[in-house]
Structure 1
Amino acid sequence: MLKPEHLLTLREVIQRGSFAAAANRLGYTASAVSQQMAALEREIGVRLFHRSAHSVLPTGAAEVMARHATTVLNDIDRLVAATQAAHRNTERQVRLGVFPSFGLNVLGEAIGRLPAGDRTGFRISVAEPSQLIPHLGESGELDAAIVYQVGNSGLSWPTSVDRRWIAEDRFRVVLPRAWLSTPRQTSSWPTSRGSGSAAASPPSSTPTARPAASGSCWTPSPSDMCLHP
């Protein structure tokens, strides 16, 4: 079977005019070039060079073979490049960062909706937003991240990152039922969307409830509670 390296050597010998010049170009010895050409002649059963004590002259057959060798070698280069590109495209992983609750409650279902062939190309990192964001950017370890931002919290974003708002998660506050039917005073209600902190003072007629601002804990029974948007 013909070897591509023999075809390459033949082409260099024809172009440069001698075994020594081809050897110098390819990083071989002149003896190694001579041996390759002899092996090529045996493989195809055709004399490619007229050898004498002082020179080596290519035959017409050698010149024809060298022209076709250029086409073959170019095709091999294209074959290798296409194969490597296909490998990169099929094996490339999307390095995705997600915050813990998204990874636990949403990520599996979201990936499950993708076509079967697209479900294996992910490498998932789970961490809080402040830990994920520094790994984004052109030289980072993540290609994309799904994070949350509470109000105007001071997250530091790389300048090369394209940010897109994809959803809004509104908070709900759990209040005693008695509070909805009794005048009450509310303080420190969040002024920024997404803030998770609120302090409310219960009515004086509800002695079992304690203000959240006091720092103490209060555990009501389920029948006393309701959801209030």
Structure 2
Amino acid sequence: MFDSRHIKTFREVVQAGSYSGAARSLGYTQPAITQQMKALERDVGTPLFTRVGRRMRLTEAGEALARHADVILDSIADAQQQMDAITRLRSGRVRVCAFPSASATLIPEAMARLAAGHPGIRMELLEGEPPDSLRRLVRGECDITLAFTYPGLDEEVPDEVVEVRLFEDQLIVLLPTGHPLARRRAVKLADLADEHWIAGCLRCRANFLHECAEQGFAPDIAFTTDDNLVVQSLVAAGVGVAMMPALVLSFLCHQKVTGRALDPASRRQVSAYVLREHLRIPATALVLDELRTAAERRVGC
């Protein structure tokens, strides 16, 4: 591994034609130049200069290194500029893996704020449902994961992952317009025990079954889909009722469905997850801050 300071001094010796000339140009003493060149020759493993009378000549290895010195130093300078741009938040890339309703609500606002305040920071969006999205974080396929968890269901988070809590998302019951219980402000889950149900993603369905069991009944699930628009369309058509996070209704509200709070209230936790060591990366920390701000400003339906 070359020391860039030695390469810079070597280039100056080649251009000046002597150690003394390089010393004058760089403001060093001649012994300091000599010591650096000896150190570089030890790194290379072969002499770089030979003396012919009072003149210094490059060896074959010295000539080879001289041809690459400018490229090496230019590459280091470019790398330093890029590192400086990243640490000063003038450039950078952050890959965020999010579940669909977060992609439709939190991500657009965070992206817009980044574009306005830090146009050099690029956020790349991937979509994925937990727990797969958490596994993608650990595998290094993304830098931040947005995921949700439900109380009462065991969640395993690897030790190297940090959870940054964003907000609690209320669960609501989705009824077709005109349903008798739509006149209530809140609905007990047990009052819908005889209904047909539309179920969602695996994690949401597991929580739904858990809550129904807590209320003493097993729901009749008529249809299962991960597509929130399909869920609302099926409810609107009278195929069944559904339990849905309020976050979905903040951007997608079918005109023929009515959402009502659960009694007692039920919520899921929406969080950002990041590898512990990545919290020190400026661009990642910035995106986390923007996601917190977007979460605080979210608007319900």
The TM-score with structure 1 as length reference comes to 0.51
**Aligned equivalents of 1:223, 1:123: Cα separation in 2:** 33
- Which secondary structure does the structure 1 equivalent of 2:162 belong to? coil
Larger radius of gyration: 1
| 2:171 aligned with 1:178 | no
Judging changes above 3 Å, is the alpha-carbon distance between structure 1 residues 102 and 33 closer, same or farther for their aligned structure 2 residues?
same
1:70-149 aligned at under 5 Å gives the runs 80=77, 82-89=80-87, 90-114=90-114, 116-119=116-119, 120-137=121-138, 140-149=140-149
Counterpart position of 1:33: 49
Contact 1:174–1:227 under 8 Å retained in 2: yes
Cα deviation, 1:156-193, whole Å, max 9, x if unaligned, reads: 31102111221111121135643478xx96377xxxxx
Which is richer in strand? 2
Equivalent position to 1:213, from 215, 219, 234: 219
Q: Which moved more, 1:92-101 or 1:106-115?
A: 106-115
**Number of aligned residues:** 170
Equivalent position to 2:12, from 4, 7, 10: 7
Structure 1 residue runs without a partner (length 5+): 36-50, 59-75, 189-193, 200-210
**Aligned equivalents of 1:215, 1:28: Cα separation in 2:** 74
| Aligned AA (1:104) | A
Contact 1:94–1:143 under 8 Å retained in 2: yes
**Aligned equivalents of 2:173, 2:40: Cα separation in 1:** 82
Q: Which moved more, 1:80-89 or 1:94-103?
A: 80-89
Contact 2:182–2:260 under 8 Å retained in 1: no
Could you tell me the percent identity over the aligned residues? 18
| 2:230 aligned with 1:228 | no
| Aligned AA (1:186) | D
- The higher-RCO structure (CA 8 Å, 6+ apart) is 2
Cα deviation, 1:140-163, whole Å, max 9, x if unaligned, reads: 333221111133334431102111
| Aligned AA (1:144) | I
Cα deviation, 1:106-138, whole Å, max 9, x if unaligned, reads: 31123112352525422222111211112335x
Q: CA RMSD in A?
A: 4.9
Structure 2 residue runs without a partner (length 5+): 1-7, 23-29, 57-72, 194-203, 224-234, 240-253, 262-301
**Aligned equivalents of 2:107, 2:164: Cα separation in 1:** 18
Judging changes above 3 Å, is the alpha-carbon distance between structure 1 residues 174 and 88 closer, same or farther for their aligned structure 2 residues?
closer
**Aligned equivalents of 1:22, 1:149: Cα separation in 2:** 57
The TM-score with structure 2 as length reference comes to 0.41
